[in-house]
Amino acid sequence: MSHQMRQEEYVSAFSARYCSPEMSSLFSPKKKALLFRELWISLAKAQKKMGLSITDKQIQEMEKASKKIDFDKINAYEKKFRHDVMAHIHAYGDECEVAKPIIHLGATSCYATDNADLIQLKSGLSLLFQKLVQLIDALASIAKKHASDPALSYTHFQPAQPTTIGKRISMWLQDFLLDAKEFKRLIEEIPFLGAKGATGTQASFLALFDGDSHKVQAMEELIAADFGFSNLLPISGQTYTRKLDLQILNALSSFAASAHKIATDIRLLAHEGEFLEPFDKTQVGSSAMPYKRNPIYSERICGLARFAISLSQNGAYTLATQWLERSLDDSSNRRVTIPESFLCIDAILNLWLYILKNPHIDPHISLKNLEKHLPHLSMEPILMESVKRGANRQEIHEKLRKITFESNDNLIDAIVNDKSFGLSRKDVENIAHPKKLIGCAPEQVNSFLKKEVHPFLKNHPVSPLKTHVEI
């Protein structure tokens, strides 16, 4: 497609702006066509091995022509037949004079389309998992670095208790770790459809092998092994159960929800100056306000995440509306929903890796923001210490409540001057020290990294990405 045509026709924002070349290529028409041909070659090889009259010459011809893809011819055939797989079969057959009679032998369209989909789904999840491991590794380093740096925590976005920067980041990290484990489970468990025939009974293949079901099973296992699948779906109609799509889209949606929540946190913290995104020297924050430094990447993550979450509903609708052994209303929906979901999550991960490559985290600003609220935040530990020294818990609680409302600018003086608390100024200042108010946060961070994150990273080493994505 020429540059001029791209300006005159709609182009997906994912392939044009956001996602990686690898993910875009994975769901491209060319990749789909290549997978169809690889599946037909694998089918022919397995059938030959199981005793059908298929020659080495036919297989060699198929292999030689596998990358000769004429999309003009495929499009012309599809316009003629109104059937996408038949169009690919005929276009491939035109390149394989000797092998043409045995291409797609015994198979139905979903042998090509559904198995190709499962290969793409598994490959797509693997690419996302690789990036998610990088994201987890980056967050783990930041959490460790800031495990003990005090920060103000919030409930309802109102000042709550002191925490640490590392503890907050560990909360993000835990969600992403759960997402990664689900991605990994799906990658390992996704089954191959195999060769099930028009309604899942394998009747056509059983006829080819003169009633020998063992040969049918062996043929399926050979094909599955060719594409790296250890599991075969034992039961199907014409298609693999759309429950698999639902599970995968739900996993992508779950990650998108994590990404949205955490990006929202960064947007809130950016307002407080505690966590700022990378900002290029020539970057413009606003066309009207030159001083602006908006969290645009976190905002973009939120926008894309909402789109991914909305797409996931299609998996449930599609599964729910399948008729008996097969209906075709799923095809047009899946053709859009599945690729866009993967491209969207890929784009979100690219943004996360960019943000975490060089975030601006300032513990001094976090401490400064915390110190503004220390008098109020120290009320509970003051209550505890006063009661430990013999005071009445209910009486002290009531006094603190009144002091909070009546002496907002002189809380410490009011407490020190009231002898019923039994606390000196030095006692109160010691109690109100930020390091004394962060509880077990540093220990929680270090324990979490040691017991959960580091073992995961040890089992899944970070792999460098093949390409750099411009953000």
| CATH number of the structural domain spanning residue 30 | 1.10.275.10
| Residues classed as catalytic | 156, 286
Identify whether 199 is part of a domain. Answer: no
- Mean pLDDT for 318-334 is 93
Residues in Cβ contact with 182 at an 8 Å cutoff, skipping those fewer than 6 apart: 251, 254
Do residue 398 and residue 268 come from a single domain?
Answer: no
Do residue 80 and residue 143 come from a single domain?
Answer: no
Do residue 98 and residue 158 come from a single domain?
Answer: no
| DSSP 8-state class, residue 238 | S
Q: Among the three residues 78, 105, 132, which one is the final residue of a domain in this structure?
A: 105
Structure confidence at residue 410 (pLDDT): 76
User: What is the gyration radius of the CA atoms in the chain, in angstroms?
Assistant: 30
Half-sphere exposure in the Cβ direction for 147 (13 Å, CA): 14
Check which CATH number belongs to the domain holding 267 and give it: 1.20.200.10
Identify whether 335 is part of a domain. Answer: yes
Q: In the predicted model, what is the mean pLDDT of the chain?
A: 92
Note whether 150 and 362 are within 8 A (CB).
no
Residues in Cβ contact with 404 at an 8 Å cutoff, skipping those fewer than 6 apart: 376, 379, 411
Cβ-based burial of 278 (10 A; exposed 0-12, middle 13-18, buried ≥19): middle
Entry pTM:
0.91
Residues in Cβ contact with 240 at an 8 Å cutoff, skipping those fewer than 6 apart: 110, 114, 117, 118, 191, 193, 233
Residue type, 235: I
Query: What is the band of 326 on the pLDDT scale with cuts at 50, 70, 90?
Result: very high
- Mean pLDDT for 179-202 is 97
Q: Among the three residues 70, 105, 140, which one is the final residue of a domain in this structure?
A: 105
Structural domain tally of the chain? 3
Do residue 166 and residue 81 come from a single domain?
Answer: no
Do residue 39 and residue 150 come from a single domain?
Answer: no
| pLDDT tens digits, 12-23 | 888 888 899 999
Identify whether 77 is part of a domain. Answer: yes
User: Which is higher by pLDDT, 427 or 278?
Assistant: 427
Identify whether 234 is part of a domain. Answer: yes
Structure confidence at residue 3 (pLDDT): 43
Do residue 239 and residue 323 come from a single domain?
Answer: yes
| pLDDT tens digits, 92-123 | 999 999 999 999 999 999 999 999 999 999 99
Residues in Cβ contact with 270 at an 8 Å cutoff, skipping those fewer than 6 apart: 276, 277, 293, 294, 295, 298
| pLDDT tens digits, 149-164 | 999 999 999 988 999 9
Structure confidence at residue 2 (pLDDT): 41
- Expressed as residue numbers, the domain containing 387 is 379-431
Structure confidence at residue 463 (pLDDT): 82
Identify whether 370 is part of a domain. Answer: no
Half-sphere exposure in the Cβ direction for 422 (13 Å, CA): 12
Do residue 86 and residue 115 come from a single domain?
Answer: no
Do residue 115 and residue 86 come from a single domain?
Answer: no
Structure confidence at residue 227 (pLDDT): 97
Structure confidence at residue 433 (pLDDT): 86
| pLDDT tens digits, 199-246 | 999 999 999 999 999 999 999 999 999 999 999 999 999 999 999 999
Identify whether 364 is part of a domain. Answer: no
Report in angstroms the alpha-carbon separations of 8 from 4, 5, 72, 293, 463. 7, 5, 21, 33, 39
pLDDT over 90 percentage in the chain: 77
Any idea of the CA torsion for 82, 87, 88, 90, to the nearest 10 degrees?
A: 160
CA distance 142 to 412: 35
Structure confidence at residue 307 (pLDDT): 97
Do residue 179 and residue 245 come from a single domain?
Answer: yes
Do residue 309 and residue 165 come from a single domain?
Answer: yes
What token pair was written down for 454? 């580091």
- Mean pLDDT for 431-441 is 89
Q: Does 287 score more than 60 pLDDT? A: no
What token pair was written down for 344? 């969207």
Q: Among the three residues 59, 75, 105, which one is the final residue of a domain in this structure?
A: 105
Note whether 222 and 44 are within 8 A (CB).
no
Closest C-alpha to 36, from 136, 131, 133, 117: 117
Collapsing DSSP to helix, strand or coil, 361 comes out as strand
| pLDDT tens digits, 360-419 | 999 999 999 999 888 888 888 889 989 999 999 999 999 888 887 776 567 788 888 888
**What separation, in Å, do the N-terminal and C-terminal C-alpha atoms of the chain show?**
23
Identify whether 224 is part of a domain. Answer: no
Identify whether 210 is part of a domain. Answer: no
Least confident stretch, 3-17, 24-38, 101-115, 449-463: 3-17
Note whether 434 and 372 are within 8 A (CB).
no
Do residue 176 and residue 42 come from a single domain?
Answer: no
What token pair was written down for 348? 């979100």
Do residue 137 and residue 265 come from a single domain?
Answer: yes
